Amino acid sequence: MIQTERLLQTFCTLVSFDSPSCGERKICDYLKETLKQLGLAVTEDDAAEKIGGTAGNIYAVLPATQGMESLPPLLFSGHMDTVEPSHGKQTVVHPDGTITSNGETVLGADDCAALAAILEALSVIQADQLPHRMIEVLFSAAEESYCTGIGMFDFNRIQAKEAYILDISGPVGGAATQAPTILSFRITVHGRASHAGFVPEAGIHAIAIAATAVHTLKNGWLDEQTTRNIGTISGGSQTNIVPELCVVTGEIRSFSHASAMAAWEETQTAFRDAVAQSGAELDITHTIHVHAYHTPETHPVVKRFEAVCRKQGISCFLRSTMGGSDNNPLSEHGITGIVLATAMNNSHSCTEYTSIEELRRISAITVDLMCAEV
């Protein structure tokens, strides 16, 4: 049975740790010790030194109970970091059960609600001696910075082929079965400086060239599954100097990886066409942060979640999300998962909130998933 006071205390304790991306040492130590006390075999990898952080990814395993060994293992995942502003986070529990920060920081329900729910589920299983299949737990570092931490993880360690990632906003009972490829880019136009009053014709106006390229590109929705955004443009040094440099950054997201790459090719072509015959030069770089995935609604990982929601009397609804999560790299490595709504609302803002009831609901769902016999 879910122990609400224990769950609330765990959540408040987790929130109290300062855990910015690449600065999760204290919360990592707490999680490792708690998982060990719950009987899991716990290890921390070397991701910290690879990403310049203070903590690696936590991987933990709880063997199946007798009679459940034949069931395939399941992976449960959440991330340890929170977005800024996060220093000195405090929980404020309101009379109606709503939980907020003091308004000066994020609350950190993204993703402390997930960590608390998984710990509570494991506590219930152990205290009530519930039969369960093999359970694997992955708590990642630096997820908010485009899944940097999990990108360093050795996925060969994971035995599960199905996963539940607790990391999306909205009412508990929701789940994302589709998420996009996310690609960011930086394009630098190198022109030539000259005095804008005396010899403007001697210069190559980098900002004008970049502006021409941007003008030809559609932003926002390119089709039903793809977006592009020119996010920043910077360049020039003085009003009387023809600007020799302009830097443009942006991103592309698409539920189709092929469509994302097509939009990126179109973006490059626009800049190359604008530069042609001008004498300017380009530096073009891009990073593919995560790859798109789509989990079929007929897949057992989805059907099991729907059955658990019915058992709990919780409305279940499936959707897509234009945000990435650790489920993207898990999917790349052959692990099929969905991302569960996890008692977080208004994430990435100082108005973020959760509630005791929603924390209880996601914890109960997690217990039933861990103990499911199908």
Active-site choice (111, 136, 143, 244):
143
168 and 123 share one domain: yes
d(CA 324, CA 311): 29
223 and 116 share one domain: no
d(CA 337, CA 299): 9
Instruction: Evaluate if residue 374 carries a pLDDT over 90.
Output: no
Question: What is residue 276's predicted lDDT score, i.e. its pLDDT?
Answer: 94
Provide CB contacts within 8 A for 99, sequence distance 6+: 11, 91, 92, 93, 107, 109, 353, 354, 355, 356, 359
283 and 339 share one domain: no
The share of the chain scoring above pLDDT 70, in percent, equals 100
166 and 213 share one domain: no
> Smallest Cα–Cα separation from 175: which of 37, 349, 366, 14?
366
Question: What is residue 277's predicted lDDT score, i.e. its pLDDT?
Answer: 84
Are 148 and 49 in contact, with CB atoms under 8 Å apart?
Answer: no
Which CATH number characterizes residue 95's domain? 3.40.630.10
Q: Which amino acid is at 203?
A: G
SS3 for 309? helix
Residue 273 annotated in active site: no
Q: What does the CA dihedral 29, 35, 36, 37 come to, rounded to 10 degrees? A: 110
Provide CB contacts within 8 A for 94, sequence distance 6+: 100
How many structural domains is the chain composed of?
2
Question: What is residue 331's predicted lDDT score, i.e. its pLDDT?
Answer: 97
| Backbone φ and ψ of 61, nearest 5° | -135, 135
Domain range enclosing 101: 4-179+292-371
Question: What is residue 175's predicted lDDT score, i.e. its pLDDT?
Answer: 98
Question: What is residue 373's predicted lDDT score, i.e. its pLDDT?
Answer: 92
66 and 151 share one domain: yes
SS3 for 111? helix
> Smallest Cα–Cα separation from 280: which of 267, 289, 288, 271?
271
Which CATH number characterizes residue 249's domain? 3.30.70.360
- The rounded mean pLDDT for the chain is 97
DSSP string, 159-172: --SEEEEEEE-SSB
Active-site choice (81, 144, 167, 326):
81
236 and 274 share one domain: yes
29 and 104 share one domain: yes
d(CA 359, CA 14): 13
Residue 144 annotated in active site: no
Question: What is residue 113's predicted lDDT score, i.e. its pLDDT?
Answer: 98
The last residue of one of the domains, among 264, 290, 316, is 290
pLDDT one-digit tens code per residue, 250-266:
999 999 999 999 999 99
Q: Summarize the confidence of residues 103-108 as an average pLDDT.
A: 96
238 and 283 share one domain: yes
138 and 44 share one domain: yes
Are 371 and 10 in contact, with CB atoms under 8 Å apart?
Answer: no
Length of the chain: 374
d(CA 83, CA 112): 12
pLDDT one-digit tens code per residue, 152-204:
999 999 999 999 999 999 999 999 999 999 999 999 999 999 999 999 999 99
271 and 326 share one domain: no
